[in-house]
Amino acid sequence: MIKTMTLPGKDELISFLKKQGLIYQDNQTDEQSEYFLERVCENTKECFLCAGKPHTLGIFVPDDSLRWGAIKGKQRIFFYSLCQKCLKLKGAAVMVENKISEFFLRKEGGS
């Protein structure tokens, strides 16, 4: 599943992630939350497809997290951003999905 929204500012992003139960929860340390937030910011600072100016925040939630390297019982969520141009591309969602899968496969393949 892919969901997109206008790229939020950092404060909005923090409250969004809080609301989704992804950061600053009881079962997380502040370090874990901050690390997660940093990774989201890092992934969304430029367009995922062309490295252009980000415009839209995209959230990819795979149907089967295990296939994407998640631990059993944990949901994998991937944040990225797209520029205005790439957002309008036909098949952008498929291109993003392919690139995300490459990203995870590369991680599994070593290093």
User: Taking contact as CB under 5 A, which single stretch among the options 16-24, 60-68, 78-86, 103-111 is the one that binds Zn ion?
Assistant: 78-86
Which one of 49, 57, 92, 100 is in contact with Zn ion (CB under 5 A)?
A: 49
Q: Which residues pair with 78 in a beta bridge?
A: 60
Taking CB atoms within 8 Å and a gap of at least 24, the contacts of 61-64 are 61/1, 61/2, 61/3, 62/1, 63/1
Q: Of 13, 23, 83, 92, which lies in the binding site for Zn ion, with binding defined by CB under 5 A? A: 83
- Residues with Cβ within 8 Å of residue 103, at least 6 apart in sequence: none
Cβ closer to Zn ion: 50 or 61?
Answer: 50
Q: Which residue among 50, 61, 66, 105 contacts Zn ion (CB under 5 A)?
A: 50
Specify whether the CB–CB gap between 49 and 99 falls below 8 A: yes
Q: Is 86 in the site for Zn ion (CB under 5 A)?
A: yes
Site string for Zn ion, 28-47 (x = CB under 5 A): -------------------x
Question: Angle at CA 70, nearest 5°, toward 79 and 39?
Answer: 35
For Zn ion, the binding residue among 2, 22, 28, 52 (CB under 5 A) is: 52
- For the record, the structure tokens of 96 come out as 């993003």
**Positions that interact with Zn ion (CB under 5 A):** 47, 49-50, 52, 83, 86
